[in-house]
Amino acid sequence: MTITQEQATWFSQTFSQISDNVERAILGKRQVVELVVTAMLSDGHVLLEDVPGTGKTSLARAVAQSVQGTNTRIQFTPDLLPGDITGITVYDQKSGTFEFHSGPIFANIVLADEINRASPKTQSALLEVMEEKRVTIDGVTRPVGEPFLVLATQNPVEQAGTYRLPEAQLDRFMMRTSLGYPDHAATVRILDGGSVATAELSPVITPQALAGMADLAATVYVDALVLDYIARLVDATRSADEVRLGVSIRGALALTRSVRTRAASQGRTYVTPDDVKSLAVSVLSHRLILHAAAEFDGVTQEAVIGQVLLDVAPPSQREAG
């Protein structure tokens, strides 16, 4: 079953309402807000690379408030243990039974602050839950619920006392983006009290309806020529001179899922090559591993994807529509 035009129009209107609501708390960052909402509706997670004080926590809270969901914040530190994230089983002497005390991962929106400050063992506690939306503790598997979005942050400037995220974990994030500083006009509005506290945000949609939106997005039509275009882009990242390891098949699937959601957010029932172009850098760049010589020369992952987009010819809109 493919999404109808009427459903696509409703999807687009609701997507805009959610984004508008979140943007009341995060002024001047419409593109990032839409990326986060797109990832949430595509069963993905987002890595925010940002300096402190740019509104990452406010963004997570605003998204959770908008979808009437729960939100938690985990401050990652070197002494954080896996059980501090997932929860632990505790023996109750009165009842003589073991009770499970759930950790902060059991929420709709989880802000994993400064994720690269925790040890690799603690970081790995997120691998199963990010991929499968469930946690296995003492042999018992527990679902974390729907929707489920991990918004992880790391400071790209301060590297003292941090652990580089392993490639397997980076690959679990659908997108990497940055809030950055607001522009001058937005800064003046913020200083003048223009942004709304997240506590004042009203929910726009229920978690159940949001899950329905995600199901709708998955039915958006993707032409074989667009799928071929995505495959050629991924192949090109693997053969680029500066790249030691290109985009995985998980990355290609993530791009396909996210462009479906983007097409629906624009009120369309089908994906165009422009949808792919608009999301390729955010979805693919963090999955590349560059040669050391290329990194030394100042080559960035984003620049490589940008060049790939220039080199690989997209199908014409008429062919792919």
Domain boundaries, the chain: 1-203, 220-315
Judged by average pLDDT, the poorest of 136-145, 156-165, 193-202, 216-225 is 156-165
pLDDT at 299 over 80: yes
Q: State the average pLDDT over residues 287-313.
A: 91
- Give backbone dihedrals phi and psi of 91, rounded to 5 degrees, phi first: -80, 125
The pLDDT confidence band at residue 161, using thresholds 50, 70 and 90, is low
Percentage of residues of the chain with pLDDT beyond 90:
42
Q: To which CATH superfamily is domain 1-203 assigned?
A: P-loop containing nucleotide triphosphate hydrolases (3.40.50.300)
pTM above 0.85, yes or no: yes
* C-beta atoms surrounding 134 within 10 Å: 13
State phi, psi for 276 to the nearest 5 degrees: -65, -45
Over residues 40-50, the pLDDT tens digits come to: 999 999 998 87
Q: What is the CATH number of domain 220-315?
A: 1.10.8.80
Q: What is the model's pLDDT at position 318? A: 52
Residue 317 has pLDDT above 70, yes or no: no
Write the DSSP symbol of residue 24.
T
Residue 319 clears pLDDT 60, i.e. is over it: no
DSSP state of 147: S
pLDDT, position 231: 96
Pick the more confident residue, 156 or 80. Answer: 80
Residue with tokens 């699937």: 253
User: What residues contact 113, with CB distance under 8 A and at least 6 apart?
Assistant: 56, 57, 73, 74, 75, 76, 153
What amino acid occupies position 215?
A: D
Share of the chain above pLDDT 70, in %: 95
What's the N-to-C CA distance of the chain in angstroms? 18
What mean pLDDT do residues 44-64 have?
84
**Whole-number pLDDT of residue 237:** 94
**Alpha-carbon gap, residue 103 to 86, rounded angstroms:** 5
